[in-house]
Amino acid sequence: MAIVKKLLIIILVTAILPVVIPLAVYAVIQKRWFLSTLLLPLPEDVKSVKLDLLINSKKDVLQENIVLCLVDLNMGGYWLYFNIDWRAVEEVKTQGNALAKMHGVNDIFTSNKIDEEASVWSMLVVYDMWLQEKGYEVVLWDQGSDEYTGFICQLNATDKFLKAGKSLGLELVRLDHVNEQ
């Protein structure tokens, strides 16, 4: 009986391992791709340090470590994400231009739509339309707060970026141009 149990375990392990190992490898590849894409505009020396830190983060602290990393980078002048209070309409231009410049977009975003009735969301929609002309778009990161947090991503990589981020437990969505988020 003990031999039969051991034999069944060996059969199960040999049947499951070929499935489990590729899934684990795929998850690591997705994580590395997402983080590399997020940090893409950084100088190589800065990127490698931050990438190592985030790659080695466990899933339960990854989101927190991404936030800490991005805040640290923003304070160092490397704008890779925006974090805009729901009332700070002017910040869309300020942070949006810093992000665009970091991604190699040298044009300056300006808008005549800033008035007392403008909202951060409506400005983000205008910014997103401007970015799309440059080959980028806004990706929002819902962290359950009343702030607008997110990234800009190359248009041709957005679907993969969203999918990879979601596989890491991040609530990422495209900016909705019709329904305020």
Mean pLDDT per block of 10 residues along the chain (181 residues) reads 69 58 63 96 96 93 96 95 93 96 95 77 95 97 92 96 95 88 63
Reading the block at residue 121, the tokens are: 């969301």
> Which phi and psi (to 5°) does residue 136 adopt?
-130, 165
Reading the block at residue 69, the tokens are: 């990393």
The pLDDT score that the predictor gives to residue 26 is 53
The HSE-up count of residue 164 (CA atoms within 13 Å, CB side) is 20
> Which among 139, 72, 67 is positioned nearest to 103, based on CA atoms?
139
Strand partners, 140: 150, 173
CB 140 within 8 A of CB 128: no
What pTM does this model have?
0.83
Q: Rounded to 5, what percent of the chain is helix, strand, coil?
A: 60, 10, 30
Give me the helix-helix angle, 59-75 and 44-55, nearest 10°.
160
CB 96 within 8 A of CB 108: no
The pLDDT score that the predictor gives to residue 181 is 63
The pLDDT score that the predictor gives to residue 179 is 80
The pLDDT score that the predictor gives to residue 22 is 52
B/e letters for 172-181, b = 16+ CB within 10 Å, e = fewer, are bebbeeeeee
What is the C-alpha separation between 96 and 118, in angstroms, rounded? 16
Distance from chain centroid for Cα 163: 10
The pLDDT score that the predictor gives to residue 12 is 59
List of long-range contacts for 31-36, beta carbons under 8 Å, 24+ apart:
31/55, 31/164, 31/167, 31/168, 33/160, 33/164, 34/161, 34/164, 34/165, 34/167, 34/168
